[in-house]
Structure 1
Amino acid sequence: MTEILRYTAFSVDPDGGNRAGVVLDASGLDDAAMLAIAAEVGYSETAFVLPGAEPRTFTARYFSPLVEVPFCGHATIATAVALGERIGAGPLVFDTPAGRIELTTGAGTASLTSVPTSSQPASPDLVDRALRALRWDASDLAWPVHVARGGAGHLVVGVGSRERLAKLDYDFDALADVLRSAGLITAHLFHQRAEDVFDVREPFPVGGVVEDAATGAAAAAFGGYLRELGLVTAPRALVLHQGVDMGRPSELLVDVRPDDPRVVVTGAAVPL
């Protein structure tokens, strides 16, 4: 019988963070079985792991209740912490559909180094359609809208008002269609609270989830977005607060450098 672990990531409080399913032994499971387990678990993602050819190296795949995604940050953090509890803290490597992810684990925490990130301005048509689906107006925008990638694709939209972010009420089906048409997974909606502190919300209708409480893949892509805008002239340590408006506060620590397209995302995880 397949053992399914349940963790919450990017929080030390079981009532906070983003919940993930973790299957540390996915041997014998085909795609249909993994999708069925993810749907039964009901979290935004469940990670499925197989041992690799080298010690502390693993193959990881990620399924939402509706689709497989190429990479999922919060499930990666949860899985790394679960493995660290069983085989000891230290370095890990995950081979994922998005590429190789290097990790380090400590006591209840993990850091992932993303694949190289990229970010480009979104087309005017994509921006218009996304704003209509979000029920926002162009006047709400305070930042350039980009398509950013850090293992998966995200539409990055920054607003000038924390109140606008708090009052998110979007058209689920319309936004899913917009994101799907552009090959994207989530919309990364943010407001800058202070120089290196951001409030974030993350609709995930493509995966059948209204909102993610913490999204490590999007956090990595966001670091690449800031670099592309020329806002990373020296190493920056960012703090992203996510899940607050849905009652599941999460904290994602993001380290981004001007000389490295990869981004390091760090967080805690606890079993449920």
Structure 2
Amino acid sequence: MYGYVIADVFTETALAGNPLAVVLDATGLSAGRMQRIAREMNLSETTFVLPPAAGGDVRVRIFTPIGELPFAGHPTFGTAVVLAETGHPGARGEELRMETGMGVVPFRLRRGQHSGRRVWGARMLQPIPVWEPYDRADELLDALDVPVSTLPVEVYRNGPRHVFVGLDGEAALAGLRVDLRALATHPDLAANCFAPTGDPAVWRTRMFSPAYGVTEDAGTGSAAGPLALHLARHGLVPLGTRITVRQGVEMGRPSTIHARVDGTLDRVDGIERIEVSGTAVVVAAGRLYV
């Protein structure tokens, strides 16, 4: 029997944001069993908490319904909040170091209130991605039914592979008609469409990834940092600016994510820090009889 908790991530409101299932102590579960549980939960990701093995406070494995990821934003972020809420020994202070397949990810946690309900805010330092032009850009645009991207179509890897396609406004973003079968032929890829809102520090996004078993994602934390970097690299947002990413609107599960990139763009290794922040709230708990 294994206890689990469900949290809504990148929101202060229950039943909004991006839901996540967290198995609190996965000791004894094989990778195959974890995968079957993730398929049973049928959320974009399910995480499994394990004892630390590399100097962190806790180790986490992340599964989509069809495979394991070395790192992802909303699962690690939500797991940090769940561990703080449930009093996990590794998350009793303000800092938490989480071991992932991409190394140790540090968090800072804070407790707050919203509408009389306890919520948690957190800041995480993400792995710095590598990036390159996407070599199937024309096929991708066809699958998304987007005539042209406002910025170069580039792919960033910080665990998942995120490709970014720019649209000229929120109406175009809301009106997307994605060919998911065609998009599924792009393996190991999440397609992130973004659009301006009129405020240069606020952007709207939608993410589609049948390759990761996710038709559309309500809040993609691992894409928020690379998006901020993408915008900075192409001169739309100065480095050091905290941007706000609004996602999940078309799904009826609005998410709000903040991201900031520090460093310099004058050399390849100039990016020093990528910070993503937001809030999350625990909404349910239960037991798995497996």
Distance 2:54 2:63 in 1: 24
Residue 71 of structure 1 corresponds to 71
Q: Kindly indicate whether the alpha-carbon contact (under 8 Å) linking 1:63 and 1:69 is maintained by their aligned counterparts in 2.
A: yes
The alpha carbon displacement at 1:96 in A equals: 1.0
Q: Kindly indicate whether the alpha-carbon contact (under 8 Å) linking 2:22 and 2:47 is maintained by their aligned counterparts in 1.
A: yes
1:176 to 160, 181, 184: 184
Q: Kindly indicate whether the alpha-carbon contact (under 8 Å) linking 1:77 and 1:109 is maintained by their aligned counterparts in 2.
A: no
Deviation per CA, 1:212-267: give whole Å up to 9, x if none.
00000011221232343355544110000000111101100111113434311111
Distance 2:230 2:204 in 1: 15
The alpha carbon displacement at 1:4 in A equals: 1.6
The alpha carbon displacement at 1:54 in A equals: 7.6
Residue 231 of structure 2 corresponds to 226
Q: Kindly indicate whether the alpha-carbon contact (under 8 Å) linking 1:46 and 1:63 is maintained by their aligned counterparts in 2.
A: yes
1:114 to 115, 119, 126: 126
Deviation per CA, 1:138-188: give whole Å up to 9, x if none.
2xx21221111233210111111221110122111210212x0xx42x111
The alpha carbon displacement at 1:122 in A equals: 2.0
Deviation per CA, 1:7-37: give whole Å up to 9, x if none.
1100011121000110121100111111111
TM-score (normalised: structure 1) = 0.91
Q: CA 1:153–1:54 in structure 2 vs 1: closer, same or farther (change >3 Å)?
A: closer
Q: Kindly indicate whether the alpha-carbon contact (under 8 Å) linking 2:4 and 2:22 is maintained by their aligned counterparts in 1.
A: yes
1:209 to 211, 214, 217: 214
Q: Kindly indicate whether the alpha-carbon contact (under 8 Å) linking 2:69 and 2:159 is maintained by their aligned counterparts in 1.
A: no
1:178-197 residue pairs with structure 2 within 5 A?
178=186, 180=187, 183-184=188-189, 186-193=190-197, 194-197=199-202
1:130 to 129, 134, 140: 140
Distance 1:222 1:119 in 2: 11
Kindly tell me the number of residue pairs found equivalent between the two proteins.
264
Distance 2:232 2:28 in 1: 42
The alpha carbon displacement at 1:208 in A equals: 2.0
Residue 253 of structure 1 corresponds to 258
Residue 266 of structure 1 corresponds to 277
Gaps of 5+ in 2: 112-119, 265-270, 284-290
TM-score (normalised: structure 2) = 0.86
Distance 1:207 1:234 in 2: 30
Secondary structure, aligned partner of 2:76: helix
Distance 1:144 1:53 in 2: 40
Give 1 or 2: higher helix fraction: 1
1:145-156 residue pairs with structure 2 within 5 A?
145-156=153-164
Residue 173 of structure 2 corresponds to 165
Question: RMSD in angstroms over aligned alpha carbons?
Answer: 1.7
Distance 1:161 1:234 in 2: 23
